Amino acid sequence: MAETPVAEHRPASAALAEAARVGLIAGALAFPVLALRAEPDFSNRLVLQPRWSWMLGAAVAGFAGRLLLSLLPPRRPKTAQAAQAKRASRRAAQAFAAFGLGLIFIWPLLVLLALGPGGALKWIDNYGVQILIYVMLGWGLNIVVGLAGLLDLGYVAFYAVGAYSYALLATNYGASFWICLPVAGCLAAFWGVLLGFPVLRLRGDYLAIVTLAFGEIIRIVLINFSALTNGDAGIASIPRATFFGLPFVPGPKGFDAFFGLPFSPIHRVVFLYYLILALALVTNLATLRLRRLPIGRAWEALREDEIACRSLGIDTTKTKLTAFALGAMFGGFAGAFFAARQGFVSPSSFNFTESATILAIVVLGGRGSQIGVAAAAIAIVGGSELLRELDFLKHVFGEDFDPTQYRMLLVGLAMVMMMNWRPRGFVSTREPSIFLGARKQIGGDFVKEGRG
Amino acid sequence: MLRVERLSMRFGGLLAVDGLSFDVRRGDITALIGPNGAGKTTVFNCITGFYKPTTGRIAMSAEGLADPDAIDALTRSSSRERNGIHLLERMPDHEIARHARVARTFQNIRLFAGMSALENLIVAQHRPLMRASIFSLAGLVGAPSFRAAENAAKQKAGDWLARINLLDRADDPAGALPYGDQRRLEIARAMCADPVLLCLDEPAAGLNPRESADLTALLRMIRDEFGVSLLLIEHDMSVVMEISDHIVVLDYGRKIADGTPAEIRADPSVIAAYLGVPDEEVDAVVQEALS
């Protein structure tokens, strides 16, 4: 990155004056809100208690924030230097991606070495497996929303179909995870096509409403069809995934005894981590491959202009249905994995919030971008998990302060800021699927978002 | 090769096209002209399947004008296609493009703006590539047969980009190209779909005289080198008179004239329609035009 001299844009005294002004305004604004607190006294009358330190804190925060902003380099005009910086930042992004992939591969081992089996469990399960499930779901939905441009608000329905397929097949027929996995995917794809047919003629808002309704229908059927699904109580004691037939149980028949290891529940979690990592990578590879095939190009062309597609002899019906089916299939795989990991499924795991989270991941990551979606899944799921670790704030605000109550507020605030800063998500550019000369990124301004 | 017979299209109370009949002969450049709102684009949409005509018959055959008896026999049957004759009013739009091999461009350009110029031309070759990818399976494993088909498609796209002078912008987004280039790219994209009849909706709209001249040369090249027949809607009379072999004039959904450019130029009803004169003054206008 080219360095920018601070003096070039603003003298330090002006920055200080500006920061002082902002600090004063922040303090003044804080006076009625923070500095005065009304408390009932013994005779139940309200008396004002001054909290000058809070007001001072707000003023100092305003001052420091403004000063920091002025010290940051200003936006540079587009020049050759900027282009060079862009190339450098792309190289940095590639290096970062490679580093990230490496980290993802060794993550469980790293945590295990650092924290030991007891402490590592949370970090592999909540931060590893949980995030990777959402990465996979995000990649699956990316086919429908990002590539084909069909706004799907009911994606969680396919996740539910996959989970219940595995749960029912495994508990009723004792089928193994490895047989159920493709079956769950196929069933989800079947339901994807089934959803696809009625919504073929719908676009935009109407499509979103119908897919939303479909997601709810699946959930309500799961609740009410209690003869099959056991209703709200859900299905418990689903057989866990085995290591190619070796269960993760103590005793001579287990995985640990087979490999001569002492029994530890962490082995199962590490195995689950690598299993979902493999499933997610398969999803990613398949999507990247499909994008370069005629079917993938037809999806993207459909997002760009459906009428032009039809004038070129592309059957838009089939194209939409394949997008729905493939997206649903990956959702079904993830669902089967979810059931095998939890050992318990119930309709409450598949409510609209899940669909909204997955869609938020795709939109925040940048529709159509695989790496962006993965980063967004880490940011949203990992970030909201990380906010559970805010106990240190108790030292600042006192023991009565419950930081977990602010968790979703902070997530929401972060998303609003992100969408203001980068309305098209982390990665807004699109990489052409085929090129003649040099591979050039296509700016987000040209890429359409699809109208459903 | 295309025979439109008694075609009518009604939108609610509006009769946009009223009993229109005309032929497009193989190897010809046929122009469909008329004042604004005459129903030209509606005729196009009926031919390319975007509208279902209210009544009428559209018979298409790649081998030149089909035998009327064969068309009648096909009409009485319930099928869409027989012996190379397609009844377009019975087919959905994408099948018209694929089986009857009628391609089109649009009045307001409809390129895939977020895809590169090259990708636009590759998408147009969807059918042969799809066949080569064998339900995407051969493509997923990267079979050599699919690679060969993809290379051929790339070759063809590159060839067309060279013809429209856009080879150096192959990897730029189509939406970033200048207007005139977008028009040419859209024509090249339609040609990549391998048509026998190319329908162009106002290809010269918004072009400057030099770009219009380039366009005329491009259309001639398409006809002469590829043997593709052309049907075009155009308002730019210099383009129409220069390249058309045959002109059909529409006004208020009806055909008012049909003939060679010279005949159309002298036709009093055409002049009247364009100048908007009352019927009793047509003679005066014609006299003026002839003198």
Contact flag A295-B110 (C-beta cutoff 8 Å): no
The answer, for A201 touching chain B at a CB cutoff of 8 Å, is: no
Query: How many angstroms separate the CA atoms of B81 and B11, rounded?
Result: 28
| Closest CA–CA distance from residue B12 to any residue of chain A (Å) | 22
Contact flag A311-B126 (C-beta cutoff 8 Å): no
In the predicted structure, residue A76 carries a pLDDT above the cut 60: no
φ, ψ of residue B61 to 5 degrees: the values are -145, 130
Sign of CA dihedral A82, A87, A88, A92: positive
Query: How many angstroms separate the CA atoms of B163 and B161, rounded?
Result: 5
Instruction: Compute the average pLDDT of residues A215-223.
Output: 94
B159: nearest CA partner in chain A: A436
In sequence order, the 6+-apart residues with CB closer than 8 A to the CB of B232 are B29, B30, B31, B32, B199, B200, B201, B202, B203, B219, B240, B244
| Residues of chain B positioned with their CB less than 8 A from the CB of A435 | 116, 118, 170-171
Instruction: Compute the average pLDDT of residues A118-140.
Output: 91
Interface mutation vs chain A, best among B48, B52, B94, B105, most A CBs within 10 Å: B94
Q: What is the dihedral of CA B32, B33, B37, B43, to 10 degrees?
A: -10
| Residues of chain A positioned with their CB less than 8 A from the CB of B157 | 436
Residue corresponding to tokens 């940048």:
A366
**What's the mean per-residue pLDDT of chain A?**
86
Contact flag A314-B161 (C-beta cutoff 8 Å): no
A297: nearest CA partner in chain B: B123
What would the two tokens of residue B136 be?
A: 């995407």
Beta bridge partners of B33: B249
| Closest CA–CA distance from residue A441 to any residue of chain B (Å) | 8
Q: Terminus-to-terminus CA distance in chain B, angstroms?
A: 38
* Element of type H or E holding B218: helix B209-226
Does B1-101+198-211+229-291 match B110-194 in CATH topology? yes
Count Cβ–Cβ pairs < 8 Å, chain A vs chain B.
Answer: 141
| Closest CA–CA distance from residue A165 to any residue of chain B (Å) | 26
Beta bridge partners of B7: B20
Contact flag A430-B106 (C-beta cutoff 8 Å): no
Q: Which residues of A205-243 are buried (b: 16+ CB within 10 A; e: fewer)?
A: eebbebbbebbbebbeebbeeeeebbeeebbeebbbbbe
Under DSSP, the state recorded for A126 is I
- Residue bearing the bigger pLDDT, B128 or A50: B128
Interface mutation vs chain B, best among A293, A297, A312, most B CBs within 10 Å: A312
Instruction: Compute the average pLDDT of residues A343-356.
Output: 93
Per the CB < 8 A criterion, the answer to whether B218 and B184 are in contact is: yes
Query: How many angstroms separate the CA atoms of A36 and A50, rounded?
Result: 5
Which of A332, A425, A419 is closest to A370 using CA atoms?
A425
**A138: exposed, middle or buried (Cβ count in 10 Å: 0-12, 13-18, 19+):** buried
Q: Convert the pLDDT of each residue in A287-322 to its tens digit.
A: 999 999 999 999 999 999 999 999 999 999 999 999
Contact flag B173-A293 (C-beta cutoff 8 Å): no
Rounded to an integer, what is the distance from CA B73 to the centroid of its chain? 27
Beta bridge partners of B198: B103, B230
Q: What angle do CA B189, B190, B192 make, to 5 degrees?
A: 65
What percent of chain A stands above pLDDT 70? Answer: 94
How confident is the model at residue A440, as a pLDDT? 82
Contact flag A442-B115 (C-beta cutoff 8 Å): yes
Residue corresponding to tokens 């096909």:
B74
| Residues of chain A positioned with their CB less than 8 A from the CB of B122 | 297, 433-434
Strands B14-24 and B2-11: antiparallel
Instruction: Compute the average pLDDT of residues A87-92.
Output: 76
In sequence order, the 6+-apart residues with CB closer than 8 A to the CB of B243 are B29, B31, B216, B219, B220
A302: nearest CA partner in chain B: B112
Query: How many angstroms separate the CA atoms of A229 and B183, rounded?
Result: 57
| Closest CA–CA distance from residue B187 to any residue of chain A (Å) | 12
In sequence order, the 6+-apart residues with CB closer than 8 A to the CB of A370 are A139, A142, A284, A287, A288
**B46: exposed, middle or buried (Cβ count in 10 Å: 0-12, 13-18, 19+):** buried
Alpha helices by DSSP H, listed for B77-199, are 93-95, 117-123, 126-133, 137-140, 144-163, 179-192
Instruction: Compute the average pLDDT of residues A77-100.
Output: 73
Per the CB < 8 A criterion, the answer to whether B16 and B42 are in contact is: yes
Query: How many angstroms separate the CA atoms of B115 and B212, rounded?
Result: 26
**A399: exposed, middle or buried (Cβ count in 10 Å: 0-12, 13-18, 19+):** exposed
The letter for the amino acid at A305 is D
- Tell me the fold of B1-101+198-211+229-291: Rossmann fold (3.40.50)
Q: How confident is the model at residue A2 (pLDDT cuts 50, 70, 90)?
A: very low
In the predicted structure, residue A237 carries a pLDDT above the cut 80: yes
In sequence order, the 6+-apart residues with CB closer than 8 A to the CB of B65 are B1, B3, B23, B25, B26
Q: Which of residues 273-292 of A touch B (CB under 8 A)?
A: 286, 289-290, 292
The answer, for A440 touching chain B at a CB cutoff of 8 Å, is: yes
Contact flag A308-B112 (C-beta cutoff 8 Å): yes
Residue ranges in chain B modelled with pLDDT below 70? 276-291
Is domain B110-194 in CATH 2.20.25.90, yes or no?
no
In the predicted structure, residue A70 carries a pLDDT above the cut 60: yes
- Cβ count near B193 (within 10 Å): 24
The answer, for A439 touching chain B at a CB cutoff of 8 Å, is: yes
Q: Which of residues 293-312 of A touch B (CB under 8 A)?
A: 293-295, 297-298, 300-301, 303-305, 307-312
| Residues of chain B positioned with their CB less than 8 A from the CB of A148 | none
Query: How many angstroms separate the CA atoms of A171 and A335, rounded?
Result: 16
What would the two tokens of residue A275 be?
A: 């299993």
Which of A439, A389, A442, A430 is closest to A147 using CA atoms?
A430
Residue corresponding to tokens 């064969």:
B70
Alpha helices by DSSP H, listed for A41-79, are 52-71
CB nearest to A293's CB, from B113, B136, B171? B136
| Residues of chain B positioned with their CB less than 8 A from the CB of A304 | 111-115
How confident is the model at residue A7, as a pLDDT? 44
Q: Convert the pLDDT of each residue in A428-443 to its tens digit.
A: 888 888 888 877 888 8
Contact flag B161-A297 (C-beta cutoff 8 Å): no
Interface mutation vs chain B, best among A434, A445, A449, most B CBs within 10 Å: A434
| Closest CA–CA distance from residue B193 to any residue of chain A (Å) | 6
| Closest CA–CA distance from residue B97 to any residue of chain A (Å) | 5
In sequence order, the 6+-apart residues with CB closer than 8 A to the CB of B9 are B15, B16, B17, B39, B42, B43, B46, B51, B53, B54, B253
Query: How many angstroms separate the CA atoms of A380 and A411, rounded?
Result: 7
Contact flag B114-A442 (C-beta cutoff 8 Å): yes
Per the CB < 8 A criterion, the answer to whether B5 and B57 are in contact is: yes
What would the two tokens of residue A283 be?
A: 């999803």
Contact flag A301-B189 (C-beta cutoff 8 Å): no
CB nearest to B176's CB, from A310, A316, A446? A446
Alpha helices by DSSP H, listed for A200-315, are 204-224, 226-229, 255-258, 266-291, 294-304, 306-311
Instruction: Compute the average pLDDT of residues A228-243.
Output: 88
| Closest CA–CA distance from residue A437 to any residue of chain B (Å) | 7
Query: How many angstroms separate the CA atoms of B230 and B234, rounded?
Result: 12
Give the DSSP letter string of A383-395: HHHHGGG-TTHHH
The answer, for A436 touching chain B at a CB cutoff of 8 Å, is: yes
Query: How many angstroms separate the CA atoms of A327 and A350, rounded?
Result: 17
Residue corresponding to tokens 């005294």:
A13
Query: How many angstroms separate the CA atoms of A369 and A146, rounded?
Result: 7
| Residues of chain B positioned with their CB less than 8 A from the CB of A308 | 106, 110-112
Contact flag B171-A437 (C-beta cutoff 8 Å): yes
Q: Convert the pLDDT of each residue in B21-37 to its tens digit.
A: 999 999 999 999 998 88
Which of A296, A341, A319, A358 is closest to A157 using CA atoms?
A358
In chain B, what are the domain boundaries? 1-101+198-211+229-291, 110-194
How confident is the model at residue A431, as a pLDDT? 87
Query: How many angstroms separate the CA atoms of B19 and B11, rounded?
Result: 14
| Closest CA–CA distance from residue A367 to any residue of chain B (Å) | 13
What is the CB-side half-sphere exposure of residue B259 using CA atoms within 13 A? 11
Q: In what order do the strands lie in the sheet with B85-87?
A: B14-24, B2-11, B55-61, B85-87, B81-82
A290: nearest CA partner in chain B: B140
Instruction: Compute the average pLDDT of residues A330-342.
Output: 95
Query: How many angstroms separate the CA atoms of A304 and A30, rounded?
Result: 49
Q: How confident is the model at residue A1 (pLDDT cuts 50, 70, 90)?
A: very low
| Closest CA–CA distance from residue B262 to any residue of chain A (Å) | 33
Contact flag B118-A442 (C-beta cutoff 8 Å): no
